[in-house]
Copies of this chain bind each other. A is one copy, B any other.
């Protein structure tokens, strides 16, 4: 009996390894199709004489690829149990309202991993500089994110990791993923031109975040004695120009679109927490009417409601830092 883990990397070449890979692919395809599969698969080529069609029993799957002349049997576990197991291996240290933390939380929700463990830390009390965080993150920043022994702290990196890891759970193959629907939102589309736009908006969103920070939190970014009216003015103008770009992008789409097209994507995961600061900090809506429409649409989304900053629920009205934009 050949026993292996689905996440094993199968190297090229023929022989038992490739045989196992092929068997795994076919068997998992069948299991995924039946909606029951996960985890260890036992490939039992000795069952080959049994040419019965696909049959499923409790906790067990038997599959015969008549055209290929192979039969298989494997034990099954439920997908939801696997997801629960995966989520409980995850630990997120976060701070309320921090866009980098928030985007990781949205990604976790979208990936149906809401059972992850988390620790809410206080920036005010400098809890993010604790030894506990520093042990995982030499930058002593939030988010700090751990999945088993894997540590991914940069917020964009964690979002990308969650997207790919989630695919791997189901099938080490984007082809099968596209045929056999997996749970959770697909955040990076398969189509190359759609994907290109998602990547473009994902990385462009860093401009919006940086420029918003430097205006809304100017006194926090620049210490006393290094502040200048000329800089404030220039940064405000730069932020207004940045907003015009995003307005332009949305104006080219039909109403109800997301940041990178008709589907919710990684661009929304990383950018929404930044967009949400504009209404919260009283930015005049006429500065970015389409972005505000987008905001009102997105704030009703389950993943975003589930991850809404607790500090914002407690104090729904934010400071007026962007009122004069």
Contacts of A73 in B (CB 8 A): none
Is the Cβ of A178 less than 8 Å from the Cβ of B67? no
Task: Name the one of B67, B172, B191, B234 contacting A175, with C-beta atoms under 8 angstroms.
Answer: B172
Alpha-carbon distance A228/B179, docked complex (angstroms): 59
Nearest Cβ in chain B — how far from A251, in angstroms?
Answer: 12
Instruction: Say yes or no: A138-B175 contact (C-beta < 8 A), given A18-B19, A164-B192, A199-B157.
Output: no
Q: Nearest residue in B to A30 (C-beta to C-beta)?
A: B175
Is the Cβ of A69 less than 8 Å from the Cβ of B25? no
Q: Which of A179-202 contact B (CB under 8 A)?
A: 179-181, 190-193, 195-196, 199-200, 202
Alpha-carbon distance A132/B147, docked complex (angstroms): 46
Alpha-carbon distance A24/B192, docked complex (angstroms): 19
Is the Cβ of A138 less than 8 Å from the Cβ of B248? yes
Is the Cβ of B154 less than 8 Å from the Cβ of A200? yes
Instruction: Confirm or deny: A10 has a beta carbon within 8 angstroms of a beta carbon on chain B.
Output: yes
Task: Name the one of B150, B178, B245 contacting A193, with C-beta atoms under 8 angstroms.
Answer: B150
Task: Name the one of B25, B32, B157, B234 contacting A202, with C-beta atoms under 8 angstroms.
Answer: B157
Instruction: Say yes or no: A179-B10 contact (C-beta < 8 A), given A190-B172, A203-B156, A245-B139.
Output: yes
Contacts of A324 in B (CB 8 A): none
Is the Cβ of A172 less than 8 Å from the Cβ of B172? no
Number of copies: 2
Is the Cβ of B10 less than 8 Å from the Cβ of A175? yes
Instruction: Confirm or deny: A29 has a beta carbon within 8 angstroms of a beta carbon on chain B.
Output: yes
Q: Count of A residues near B, CB < 8 Å? A: 78
Is the Cβ of B191 less than 8 Å from the Cβ of A9? yes
Alpha-carbon distance A147/B192, docked complex (angstroms): 11
Alpha-carbon distance A14/B16, docked complex (angstroms): 11
Is the Cβ of A67 less than 8 Å from the Cβ of B199? no
- Which 4 A/B pairs are nearest by Cβ-Cβ distance? A67-B67, A154-B203, A157-B199, A173-B175
Instruction: Confirm or deny: A122 has a beta carbon within 8 angstroms of a beta carbon on chain B.
Output: no
Q: Which of A184-242 contact B (CB under 8 A)?
A: 190-193, 195-196, 199-200, 202-204, 206-207, 223, 225-226, 228, 230-231, 234
Q: Report which residue of A15, A156, A160, A248 has the largest number of chain B beta carbons within 10 angstroms of its beta carbon.
A: A160
Nearest Cβ in chain B — how far from A66, in angstroms?
Answer: 6
Instruction: Confirm or deny: A11 has a beta carbon within 8 angstroms of a beta carbon on chain B.
Output: yes
Instruction: Confirm or deny: A168 has a beta carbon within 8 angstroms of a beta carbon on chain B.
Output: yes
Instruction: Confirm or deny: A22 has a beta carbon within 8 angstroms of a beta carbon on chain B.
Output: yes
